[in-house]
Every structure is written in C-alpha cells, then in structure tokens.
Homo-oligomer: A and B are copies of this chain.
C-alpha cells in the first residue's frame, strides 16, 4: 500500500494512473475503521482497479471541539486493516496540508442542511462539503462510496456533485450493524458498557417507526411520539436530539408520510452522540438502506 501525505503528490500519482486507463474507486474516512468502513472498501475494491482510502479527521466539520478531541484515532490498526483489504493507496493528509495559512474557500449546500444534523451541528455540513470537494479534486475518482448511516451527508454530497458538475458517481452502501442492531460507528467504542447496552434502543425505535408506517400510519407526530416513548424507556441515559421524518432527496420535514422518506434520529449519550436512520418507501414495504434478510 502506498501512503501519501501531500495532496499534490497523490494528485499527480493518481492522474498518471487515470491516464493509463485505470478505474479509481475512493472511500473517504475519518479513520478508526470498523467493519462498516471495510464493507465500503470491499465494494470499492470490487468495482475499481485502484482503491484509494483517505483518513482525515477534518477539523472544520466538528462544531464541538470536545468531540474533535475525543474522536478515536487508531492509525496503526487502520493501516493494518487497509493492507489486509488490498487497498493500493492511502491518503493521509495533515490539517495544515488541507488548510494552509490563508485558506478561505468553503462550500455550502443550502436547504438540505437546514434540519436534523444540520440544525444540531451548525457548520457541520459546510465542513463536510468543503473537505469532500477537496478530496474529490485531489483523488479525482471515477466513483466514491458513502455509507447510508450518514444519510443526510449522502444526499448532500450527491446534491453537491450534481450541482457542481463533478464527473464522478456517488455509490451508496447500506448501513452495517452489530449483531444486536446497533449501527456501526467509530464513536461506539467511546460508550460505557451501560450506554452501549441502551444504544440498541435506537435500532428498536427505528423498527417501531417503520412498523407503524408499514401498518398505514401516515402522521409523523404519532410515529415520532411512539418512538420517543420507546427511547425514553429503553435508553434513559440518552438525551434525544431529534427524531425526524423528512422528504427525499430534499430533506425537509414532512406533514404526512408519503413516497420515499428518511426516518432519522440522534441521541446524545454521556460519552458520545449517536445517529441512525431508515430510508423507507412505506407504500412498498421497503427499507432501502437495510440489508434484506
């Protein structure tokens, strides 16, 4: 595995490979790699000649400096895992390399960032859009894989790619879960044993909301109220940031459940804030971002 720290050097190297006709697949990450990341990487490996993974804990997407400090960093293990997966290129930039003195340019995807994560983490998606655009410009992949656990991020990145006429495909990947249903996340390892146990309630709340929709319930208020009740009972250590039902792909809260919707929630445990979601078509009884078992 080749490791690059300089944006200019990896850009030049990959330009050459692209010139030789190689298909480049890209998986941007913040490291602390888990099985969810590895599944994204395997998908990229299958469809590309050269798989590029970036590890960069992007300071400008953290609204909370404490969260940035605490964010797990496990570079040694990450490199080993990437070697094992047969990743050919690891891009490992420094904050100074990405944001040198005088750095001034930021990208905003309006409206789609107004609710859910966008409302609760001011500036978060501005930081995400900016770093993702920079990474795309450096790597210039034919496609990039994004996990649907971060559903709002996926739709925002997709919108940006279309709006800015970027010539690449955004490939979604279903949410990967622990056996007990908890969505995989780098932040899970920060949880106390008690929080970890209660955190499975997020998945149960989503399943409850889904069942209500599949049974014909179309009033978001009633669905959200039942989910809230479940979370309050089964995850008392968690403070609910939001439970939302939003239209897709424009991510606006709905008055009535219709067509494809995002059912999303965020819960703040003492050690870490967790998010999870289902992307549903209730009329068809489908959850798009879940494995069909």
Could you list which residues of chain A lie within 8 angstroms of chain B, going by C-beta atoms? 7, 11, 15, 102-112, 129, 133-134, 137-138, 140, 159-160, 163-167, 250
Contacts and interface: CB of A to CB of B under 8 A. Distances in A.
A133 B103 contact: no
B165 A137 contact: yes
The A interface is mostly helix, strand or loop, or mixed, namely mixed
Contacts of A134: 163-165
Contact of A165 (B109, B138, B165, B167): B138
A106 B108 contact: yes
B164 A133 contact: yes
Contact of A164 (B102, B137, B165): B137
A11 B165 CA distance: 9
Contacts of A104: 109-112, 159, 163
A92 to B, nearest CB: 15
Copies of this chain assembled into the complex: 2
A158 to B, nearest CB: 11
Contacts of A140: 167
B107 A250 contact: no
B106 A107 contact: yes
A7 B165 contact: yes
Most central of A103, A134, A165, A250 by chain B CB within 10 Å: A165
A167 B7 CA distance: 11
Nearest to A126: B108
A112 B105 CA distance: 10
Contact of A159 (B7, B105, B138, B165): B105
A144 B102 CA distance: 23
Contacts of A166: 137
A134 B162 CA distance: 10
20 contacts: A7-B165, A11-B167, A102-B159, A102-B250, A104-B109, A104-B110, A104-B111, A104-B112, A105-B109, A105-B159, A105-B160, A106-B107, A106-B110, A107-B107, A107-B108, A133-B164, A134-B164, A134-B165, A137-B164, A137-B167
Nearest to A8: B165
A62 B134 CA distance: 27
